[in-house]
Amino acid sequence: MIDSYRHKGLRRQLIDELKEKGISNQAVLDAFDKVPRHFFLDSSFMNQAYTNMAFQIGAKQTISHPFTVAFQTTLLELERGHRVLEIGTGSGFQTAILCAIGVRVVSIERQKELYIKAKPIISHLGYSPNLFYGDGYKGKASYAPYDSILVTCGAPFIPQELKDQLKVGGRLVIPIGEGKMQIMTRLTKLENGEFETETYGDFSFVPMLTKTAK
């Protein structure tokens, strides 16, 4: 896999586009500079890798729009060394963005094909998140508690396990809704165990599915 000056130039243009759309978190923008998105796409989409578009990645799933990745990552308010759980590894692009920010990442994917495909690409970039094939509804209790949890598929409801695995003060960013659109939602865990809820408008994600696919 080659990361040419042309690709780097295209990344800078994408970063400018993200800034125009309101992304201002420097750590997030720097991560977009570091991670070559074209590594995560089929060669037929190479030329469009740095446009603000979603693409098929196999197993009927899609890599999220760059803006969506940047927006969700910003909502997590990450700090270096934070422990983050991601539900829906997919292509692995969002996972790599989290790693580039310097947080410790645990990521779960329910499609074996995608789990297998993402792993070597992320390793090739020098990152070593803990990747798992399994059901994201259960979270990953063995690595909990988390400073942040990020769900990258549309959830019909908020899984209790994910709430339980969050630290006090920790944030859960989750698109909620069935059907075509979901409402981007951020829950912050309070000291009394309750949650503060904020919403950030409509987004469109592939659905969070219940059974682990073969």
Please report, as ranges, the residues that interact with ligand SAH according to CB under 6 A: 61-64, 69, 87-88, 90-91, 93-94, 108-111, 114, 135-137, 152-153, 206, 208-209
Q: Which is nearer to ligand SAH, 82 or 110 (by Cβ)?
A: 110
- On whether the CB atoms of residues 165 and 86 are closer than 8 A, the answer is no
Output the smallest distance, CB 214 to ligand SAH, in A: 13
Q: Could you tell me the CA-to-CA distances from 152 to 53, 57, 78, 88, 158 in Å, in that order?
A: 15, 14, 16, 5, 13
Catalytic-labelled residue, pool 24, 43, 44, 64: 64
In the complex, least distance from residue 63 CB atom to ligand SAH, rounded to whole angstroms: 4
Instruction: Tell the smallest beta-carbon distance from residue 34 to ligand SAH (Å).
Output: 16
Q: How far is the CB of 10 from ligand SAH (least distance, A)?
A: 18
Omega of the bond prior to 129 within 30 degrees of 0, cis?
Answer: no
Residue 126 burial (10 A CB sphere; 0-12, 13-18, 19+):
exposed
63 DSSP β-pair partners: 55
Count of Cβ atoms closer than 10 Å to residue 195 Cβ: 15
Q: Is 91 a catalytic residue?
A: no
The two beta strands, 83-87 and 104-109, are parallel
Are 91 and 85 a contacting pair, CB within 8 Å? no
Active-site positions read 64
